[in-house]
Structure formats: C-alpha cells, structure tokens
Amino acid sequence: MAGLSRILFVLCLALASPPAWSDSAPPMLLAEVYAAGIDVTQYWVSEKHDGVRAQWNGQTLRFRGGGRVPAPTWFTAGFPATPLDGELWIGRGRFDALSGTVRKLDPVDAEWRQVRYLVFELPGAAGDFSARVLQMQTIVARAAVPWLEAVEQTRVTDHSMLMKQLDAVTHAGGEGLMLHRADAPYLTGRRDALLKLKPWLDAEAVVVGHLPGKGKYRGMTGALLMEMPDGKRFRLGSGLPDTLRRRPPPLGARITYHYQQTTKKGVPRFPHYLRVRDAF
C-alpha cells in the first residue's frame, strides 16, 4: 500500500508540474495597425513575413507562446549567444508547410533544410532601432549560418513611396509591410513603435459552430460560425480549403481571417479565411 501511495504522489507531482516545453511566453513587441497621416520618414520598413514567430534567448529557440521549438540540433548550433527575435519562414504563401514542419516533435531534417530564421529585433539591446539594425546585420554576418538572416530594412521618403513598396511586395505574393520607428528603444507589448500595413485588415475569432454545405459542398462544412472577442458572431466560408471543409477545425479553435471593413453591426465585411492559428 505504501508503494502505491508513493506512485500516486509522484504522478500528482508530474501532473502539477508543467512540461519543459510549456514555459511562460517570452515578452515580445507586438504591432499596432498603420494609420494614414503617420510620418513614414521616421520608420524603417521591411516585408511582413508570413511565418512563425520565434525568439532565441541565447540558448533555446521558443515560440511566441513559450513552447520550445523542436528544431534539429544543427539548426541552432551556430546561433550567437545574443538574444534574437524573428520569424521562422520558408517562403511567401507557404505558411501551412512551415507550420507542419515546425510543429513536429520529431523534426524532419529534409523539411528543416528549407527553413530560415529571419531576425528583426534584438531583445533587451541598448540603443534605438537604427542602432539595432546595424547590430543585427553585424551579428548575423559574424555567425555565418546560411539559414540565419537579418530582415532587410529600408527607408522611404513619403507615403507614395511606401504604397509602391507595399504594392511590389503584395504583387510578388507577400503579405504586407512592417514599420519600426527608428528612434524607438527596445520595447515589449503592443506598441505604436511597430506598425503593420496590409492591403486587408486581419483579426482572429473562435470557431463556435460548423454550418452544413450546399451544392458542391453538400456533405461538407459550408462555413464556420465564428465568435469575435466582443461576442458578435459571423459566418466564415470564403477561402476555406476543401481539406478543412471535410475535416473542419474543432470548436474552440482560433482562426485568423482578413476583411475589408466592418458593417454597421460591427461584424467583418467580406471575411476571408487565412489559417488556423497554432497555439504553440
């Protein structure tokens, strides 16, 4: 009986203790949405890469949610001791392939050979962002790891030039642009020192129902019933791939969608499915 009690005690401890991969989320800088009228000459501009956010603390690579990225040992072996913030990325329009690769607890080398880690910030570093841009370039060059890259940062002279850059990126299959204020110190939380600019707005909502399909979608999911943070609900069918119509995301899953504007009732107009957001 004593042996059984000891086993139960150990099991309780194991259940009470979080697994090694579920450490608390690292603090990160999160972007506000770009608004017209901003003095764009005060910002560095870069492409918004459609990847998976990850932060390197000098020893471990972690997802935005705090979980350890199950990357092969060789992937981070040459990374510097300096903390880095960036995006795991394969290429434009390939988020689903990337997500499938980085979620596997047993990493597949052939898949990870396609992945790059694009660095856009130095957590905790001194100086303004302009100084950190130079530091990032120097650190990445010294590391000489082929899949470790500093995100290209440029400056624009006016709003027209910014819009031309946005058009060039989106026409090439990119998602949009990021603007980082040049004189900003390192910050965390949601701040207007970092802005995102996209041709569409995007947001997240939770799946609360599966609506049956009609016509060619008979026997499949026609649309997802979504609930916004304020409790408002709307249907999301546009952009759903057939794979998700056959096996829809479970209730409670968080979905990222984009839209043009909101209606008078406060729900998104022309919502379009983008992806299931991974909890990582």
Residues designated as active site: 48
Contact 46, 177 (CB under 8 A): yes
Interstrand relation of 116-121 and 148-150 (parallel, antiparallel or unpaired): parallel
Long-range contacts of the stretch 130-138 (C-beta < 8 A, 24+)? 130/44, 130/182, 130/183, 132/186, 133/44, 136/84
Report the candidate in 76, 41, 31 with the shortest Cα–Cα distance to residue 183: 41
Q: What is the H or E stretch that residue 129 is in?
A: helix 129-143
Q: How far is CA 57 from CA 14, 66, 99, 119, 184, in A?
A: 26, 11, 21, 13, 21
- In eight-state DSSP terms, residue 158 is S
Alpha-carbon span 29 to 181, nearest angstrom: 12
Alpha-carbon span 90 to 70, nearest angstrom: 16
Q: What is the H or E stretch that residue 24 is in?
A: none
Q: Where are the beta strands (DSSP E) in the chain?
A: 29-33, 43-47, 52-56, 61-63, 84-89, 116-121, 148-150, 177-181, 189-197, 201-212, 221-227, 233-236, 254-259, 261-262, 268-269, 272-276
- Angle, alpha carbons 58-59-62 (nearest 5°): 90
